[in-house]
Amino acid sequence: MSAPERITIDVGAHQGVDVAPELWGLFIEDLNDALDGGLNAERVRNGDFEFSAADRDGWDALTAWHPDVAGQVEFRTDDPIHPNNAHYLRLTGPVAVVNDGWDGIAVTGGQAFRLSFFARAAGEPVRLVVAVDDLASTGVTVRPGGWHRYEATLVAVADGQGRLRVEIPESGTVDLDHVSLRPAGPDGEPLTFRPDLLEALKDLAPSFIRFPGGCLAHGLGLDNVYHWKTTIGPRHERVQLPNLWGYHQSRQIGYVEYFELCQATGATPIPVVAAGVCCQNTPGGPQAIGDDGMNAYIQDVLDLIEFANGSPDTPWGARRAELGHPEPFDLRYLGLGNEDEITDDFRDRYARIEDAVREHHPEICVIGTSGPQFFGRDYEAGWAFARARGTAMVDEHGYRNPRWFHQNVDRYLAYEPGPQVYVGEYAARSNTIRSALAEAAYMIGLERSPGVVRLASYAPLLARVGHAQWTPDLIYFTATEVLPSASYHVQAMFAGERGSRLHPVTLGGVEPEPVTLPKTGSVRLTSRGADVDYADIVLDGVVRQGVRTGPGGEPVELGDIDPAAATLELTATRRAGDEGFVVELGGESYLQVHVGSWQNRSTVVLRGDDGITNDDHGPLHWHGVPTGVPVRVKVRLAGARVRVWVDGELRHDYEQDLRPEHRVLAGATSRTAADGSTEYVIRAVNAHPTARVASIRLAEPLEPAVATVTTLAGAGPDEGRPFAASPVTPVVTTAAADTLDLPPWSFVTAVIRRIP
Residue 642 has a CB neighbour count (10 Å cut-off) of 21
Is the Cβ of residue 235 or residue 397 nearer to ligand AHR in the bound state?
A: 397
- 372 touches ligand AHR (CB under 6 A): yes
Instruction: Beginning with the edge strand found earlier in the chain, give each strand of the sheet holding 739-742 in spatial order.
Output: 505-508, 5-11, 692-698, 739-742
With binding defined as CB under 6 A, does residue 382 bind ligand AHR? no
Compute the least distance from the CB of residue 220 to ligand AHR, in Å: 11
Of the candidate spans 11-19, 210-218, 312-320, 732-740, the one that interacts with ligand AHR by CB under 6 A turns out to be: 210-218
Contact range with ligand AHR by CB under 6 A, out of 209-217, 290-298, 566-574, 664-672: 209-217
CA 319/CA 324 separation, integer angstroms: 9
- Quick check: 428 binds ligand AHR (CB under 6 A)? no
Site string for ligand AHR, 91-110 (x = CB under 6 A): --------------------
Residues 6+ apart with CB under 8 A from 326: 312, 320
Q: Mind telling me the catalytic residues?
A: 339
Among 42, 175, 339, 661, binds ligand AHR (CB under 6 A): 339
415 vs 470 by CB, closer to ligand AHR: 470
What own/partner pairs with CB < 8 Å and gap ≥ 24 does 645-654 have?
646/595, 646/603, 646/622, 651/603, 651/618, 651/620, 651/622, 652/593, 652/603, 652/605, 652/617, 652/618, 652/620, 654/605, 654/616, 654/617
CB of 29 to ligand AHR, least distance (A): 5
Fill in the per-residue mask, 435 to 454: x = in contact with ligand AHR (CB under 6 A), - = not in contact: --------------------
* Identity at 693, one-letter amino acid code: V
- Closest approach, Cβ 580 to ligand AHR, in A, equals 21
Binding ligand AHR (rule: CB under 6 A), the pick from 459, 475, 507, 646 is: 459
Q: Least distance (Å) from ligand AHR to the CB of residue 419?
A: 19
Query: Could you give the C-alpha distances from 716 to 689, 711, 744, in angstroms and in order?
Result: 8, 14, 8
How many CB atoms neighbour CB 749 within 10 A?
24
Among 25, 101, 190, 214, binds ligand AHR (CB under 6 A): 214
**Shortest distance (Å) from residue 415 CB to ligand AHR:** 21
User: Does residue 212 belong to the site contacting ligand AHR (CB under 6 A)?
Assistant: no
CA distance 431 to 534: 36
Rounded-to-integer distance, Cα 475 and Cα 463, Å: 6
Residue 117 or 379: the one with the smaller Cβ distance to ligand AHR is 379
Does 615 participate in binding ligand AHR (rule CB under 6 A)? no
Residue 363: how many other CB atoms lie within 10 Å: 10
* Distance linking the first and last C-alpha atoms of the chain: 38
> What residues numbered 461-520 form the site for ligand AHR, per CB under 6 A?
470
Q: Binding to ligand AHR by residue 415, rule CB under 6 A?
A: no
The correct pick among 116, 249, 280, 338 for binding ligand AHR (CB under 6 A) is 338
Q: Provide, rounded to whole angstroms, the least separation between the CB of residue 356 and ligand AHR.
A: 24
From the list 65-73, 207-215, 230-238, 496-504, the region that binds ligand AHR by CB under 6 A is 207-215
Minimum CB distance to ligand AHR smaller for 316 or for 385: 385
Residue whose Cβ sits closest to ligand AHR: 214
How does 448-486 read in b/e, with b if 16+ C-beta sit within 10 Å? bbbbbbbbbbbbbbbbbbebbebbbbbbbbbbeebbbbb
Instruction: Determine if 31 is a binding residue for ligand AHR (CB under 6 A).
Output: yes
What are the DSSP calls for 289-306, one per residue? --HHHHHHHHHHHHHHHH
CA dist 681 and 669 (Å) reads 5
Whichever of 214 and 368 has its CB closer to ligand AHR, that residue is 214
Closer of 64 and 217 to ligand AHR (Cβ): 217
With contacts defined by CB under 6 A, how many residues of the chain interact with ligand AHR? Answer: 13
- Smaller CB separation from ligand AHR, 254 or 424: 424
**23 touches ligand AHR (CB under 6 A):** no
Instruction: For residue 58, count other CB atoms closer than 10 A to its CB.
Output: 7
Question: Which residue in 25, 47, 104, 213 binds ligand AHR (CB under 6 A)?
Answer: 213
Stretch that binds ligand AHR, among 202-210, 211-219, 493-501, 535-543 (CB under 6 A): 211-219
Residue 180, strand partner residues = 116
* CB 328, min distance to ligand AHR, A: 28
Phi, psi values for residue 628, rounded to 5°: 85, -5
Examine residue 396 and tell whether it contacts ligand AHR (CB under 6 A). no
Residue 372 or residue 619: which is nearer to ligand AHR going by CB? 372
CB 309 within 8 A of CB 331: yes
| DSSP helix/strand/coil, 410 | coil
Indicate the residue type of 81.
I
DSSP string across 6-34: EEEEEEPPP-SPBPPTT-B-EE--S-TTS
- Options 136, 181, 201, 215; binder of ligand AHR; rule CB under 6 A: 215
Burial class (CB in 10 A: 0-12, 13-18, 19+), 632: middle
Residue 26 CB, shortest distance to ligand AHR, in Å, is 12
Minimum Å gap between C-beta 281 and ligand AHR is: 8
Looking at the Cβ atoms of 459 and 644, the one nearer to ligand AHR is 459
Which position among 36, 425, 615, 679 is part of the footprint of ligand AHR (CB under 6 A)? Answer: 425
**Is 32 one of the binding residues for ligand AHR (CB under 6 A)?**
no
Tell me how far apart the alpha carbons of residues 405 and 441 are, in angstroms, rounded to a whole number: 7
Cβ proximity to ligand AHR, 228 vs 534, nearer residue: 228
CB 408, min distance to ligand AHR, A: 19
Geometric angle at alpha carbon 113, from 108 and 118, rounded to 5°: 145
Helix (H, G, I), strand (E, B) or coil at 145: coil
**Which one of 3-11, 170-178, 212-220, 665-673 is the stretch in contact with ligand AHR (CB under 6 A)?**
212-220
Give yes or no for a contact between 664 and 510, defined as CB atoms under 8 angstroms apart: yes
Per residue, the 3-state secondary structure of 465-517, as one string, reads: CCCCCCCCCCEEECCCCEEECHHHHHHHHHHHCCCCEEECEEEECCCCECCCC
H-run or E-run covering 740: strand 739-742
Can you give the binding site for ligand AHR, defined by CB under 6 A? 29, 31, 213-215, 338-339, 372, 397, 425, 459-460, 470
